[in-house]
Structure 1
Amino acid sequence: MKPKGKRALVIGFGRSGRAAAAYIRAQGGMVKVVDRADTPELRSSLQNEGLEHRLGGYSETDLRDADLVIVSPGVPWDLPLLESARKQGLPVTSEIDLFFRACPSPIAGITGTNGKTTTTALTAEVLRAGGLRVMRGGNIGEPVLDRVDQLGADDWVVLELSSFQLESIEHPRLRIGTVLNVTPDHLDRHRSMERYAEIK
């Protein structure tokens, strides 16, 4: 998926949405942002960055002229707007999925209900102690897509991956993948324990 010349609709403008918007623009694409929130701080941030935007909710009209849709982790994957996008044949992706597509480095992914953050941090430190250059990120609070141009084939990436991120990854290109544990969590989003375990 080459962003150049494409018009991306970014849904949600938290850290992940910001990273996705920056990446698409850097690759020569165009961005429109929509977000349910509508605060003076958010509006000012979007205006300062020169991003087309609509705040206060989502609408079918947001899909007009879009070539792809990029969804932030906090946005439900079964949102009616996303279902409409899929029916129209629009690619629906995420910041972390775009990273997997673009990353030239081997990736270690760590998931599970508990212990992800500690294990991700320790894994990164072990690799660094072995003399490797390591980028840490993902659900640990550090988006990685806007840093992908800093990576090379000899570097390593260690990602904490939440269920919200995993359900949006179409191309999970992992050199190492670890599931620490799976206990009931986020069932309001995933509907059942079976679905939650499947995503993990």
Structure 2
Amino acid sequence: MKDIRSFNNKKVLVLGLAKSGEAAARLLDRLGAIVTVNDGKPFEDNPAAQNLLEAGIKVICGSHPLDLLDENFELIVKNPGIPYTNDMIQKAQEKRIPIYTEIELAYLNSEAPIIAITGSNGKTTTTTMIADVFEQAGRSGLLSGNIGFPASKVAAHATATDTLIMELSSFQLMGIEQFHPKIAVITNFFEGHLDYHGTFEDYVSAKWRIQDNMTPVDYLVINHDQAMARELAQQTSATVVPISTTGLVDGAYLLDGQLYFREEAIMPAHLIGVPGSHNVENALATIAVAKLSGIENQAIIAALSQFGGVKHRLQKVATIAGVTFYNDSKSTNTLATQKALSGFDNHQLLLIAGGLDRGNDFDDLLPHVEGLKGMIVLGEAAPKLIALCEKAGINYQEAKDVKEAVHLAFAKAQAGDVILLSPANASWDMYKNFEVRGDEFLAAVDQLQGDYHG
């Protein structure tokens, strides 16, 4: 951690807790700031707030009183999930109080260089792939950010010999000022989080902030196959390194089944440890970062060929009686499910899908599900998915939950088949989040394994 004095005796409000808020409050306290924490969750149900109070940090819980902003705060560090339409944030903006997210604190305090990854799809997988390559090469790459490790907490313990490998959401990137990665990756742009950002243009603008402070000695890895990314690439000071699965570029690309970096063949695409065309893109972004970081091909090949996926993101779970199970609970929209389906033979695939009905239909999935061996549908969206199955001539069954869906799918499966949970819907009609939904899938497969081998 850098020895910085800019927060000493500065009045700072940390708005919203969770992991990142607690980490930010503790770091600011260490840096000598006068910290107040405000969280909407009642104190008696708020272990993080209780721990901070025990550490001597002022805590106000249960509501967000607007008059709190009359206390002359010089800075607000807000939880990324709190929208800018929030009354506290709007009043703070009227008062011209700077508003950060904790990734800005991480940057200001980190001795370690930063590799930052954002994008609509694939950022968690790409972040994890990059960390695995660093580990395989004997380099210290520290996972941080939106992947579950608060960036400010990781940065506080990092040294100049480490590298922060940081997954970033659009929400986090809206709260930066000086944040400056040495290498940044934007995996792709697809519509998302419009309830937060309002428009697709504002969403893209938030993602694009990742390169605001980059210079020609820094590298920006972009998906050259997307016209929007190519256009934006004309507007950055960073050195652009493109990736492509469709053509030759001055970066990383796919050609005749081989993954290349600047005319150097790195590895065959079929050796990537997870299926799907989207994972070829993720591997190309990883290769670009690795080569720009001076990592040898041997480490890249070893890491990517051994890569088993990220929990809840096309995670290979088990094979029972020749039937292989994949957990892709994190696929909460049709685009993500399309990409998951691209890695399998539909004729040997049983798909578990469904969840929260957001008002959309599933016609865009039609060409991707044709020929499926079967579909198990569940949740609010089940009637629309049944309509899709009838259009495509697919056999289907309805399940009351993921556990039942696993058992129904296994009863239909034969050796060589794949059972894939890739819901194409959010989980909130039945489960608290996609992790809980995915965990039920894992538990059901584990029970099946026990029953089968028991």
TM-score (norm 1): 0.92
2:61 — aligned with what?
55
Contact 1:96 1:169 in 2 (8 A): yes
1:20 — aligned with what?
24
**Residues 147-192 of structure 1: CA distance to partner in whole angstroms, max 9, x if unpaired?**
3232222321101101111111222301111111121111100001
- Provide the rounded CA distance (Å) in 1 between the counterparts of 2:6 and 2:85: 25
Matches within 5 A, 1:165-176: 165-176=172-183
1:127 — aligned with what?
134
Contact 1:23 1:146 in 2 (8 A): yes
Any runs of at least 4 consecutive aligned residues in structure 1 with deviations exceeding 4 A, and if so which?
Answer: none
Q: Deviation of residue 67 (structure 1)?
A: 2.0
**Is residue 62 of structure 2 the alignment partner of residue 44 of structure 1?**
no
2:150 — aligned with what?
143
Structure with higher Rg: it is 2
2:113 — aligned with what?
106
Instruction: Choose which of 4, 8, 11 in structure 1 pairs with 2:12.
Output: 8
Q: How many residues align?
A: 200
- Provide the rounded CA distance (Å) in 2 between the counterparts of 1:12 and 1:155: 29
1:81 — aligned with what?
88
- Which has the bigger relative contact order, CA under 8 A and spacing at least 6? 1
Q: Deviation of residue 47 (structure 1)?
A: 3.4
**Residues 32-86 of structure 1: CA distance to partner in whole angstroms, max 9, x if unpaired?**
1111221523153443333322222212221213221110111113423223223
The amino acid that maps onto 1:125 is: D
2:194 — aligned with what?
187
Structure-2 change in CA distance of 1:150 and 1:46 (3 Å): closer
**Identity value in percent:** 33
- Provide the rounded CA distance (Å) in 1 between the counterparts of 2:188 and 2:140: 28
- Provide the rounded CA distance (Å) in 1 between the counterparts of 2:66 and 2:55: 24
- Provide the rounded CA distance (Å) in 2 between the counterparts of 1:79 and 1:25: 25
The amino acid that maps onto 2:17 is: F
The amino acid that maps onto 2:137 is: G
The amino acid that maps onto 1:6 is: K
- Provide the rounded CA distance (Å) in 2 between the counterparts of 1:154 and 1:45: 32
Q: Deviation of residue 13 (structure 1)?
A: 1.1
The amino acid that maps onto 1:23 is: L
**Residues 60-114 of structure 1: CA distance to partner in whole angstroms, max 9, x if unpaired?**
2212132211101111134232232233232211211111122122211111111
- Provide the rounded CA distance (Å) in 1 between the counterparts of 2:85 and 2:131: 33
Contact 1:5 1:30 in 2 (8 A): yes
Instruction: Choose which of 155, 164, 168 in structure 1 pairs with 2:162.
Output: 155
Structure-2 change in CA distance of 1:84 and 1:115 (3 Å): same
Greater CA drift, 41-50 or 83-92: 41-50
Contact 1:127 1:134 in 2 (8 A): yes
SS in 2 for 1:108: strand
Contact 2:106 2:151 in 1 (8 A): yes
- Provide the rounded CA distance (Å) in 2 between the counterparts of 1:39 and 1:52: 12
2:247 — aligned with what?
none
**Residues 118-155 of structure 1: CA distance to partner in whole angstroms, max 9, x if unpaired?**
11111011122222112111000110212323222232
Cα RMSD for the two superposed structures:
1.7
The amino acid that maps onto 2:170 is: S
SS in 2 for 1:182: coil
Greater CA drift, 77-86 or 9-18: 77-86
Instruction: Choose which of 72, 91, 103 in structure 2 pairs with 1:65.
Output: 72
Greater CA drift, 85-94 or 4-13: 85-94
The amino acid that maps onto 1:33 is: V
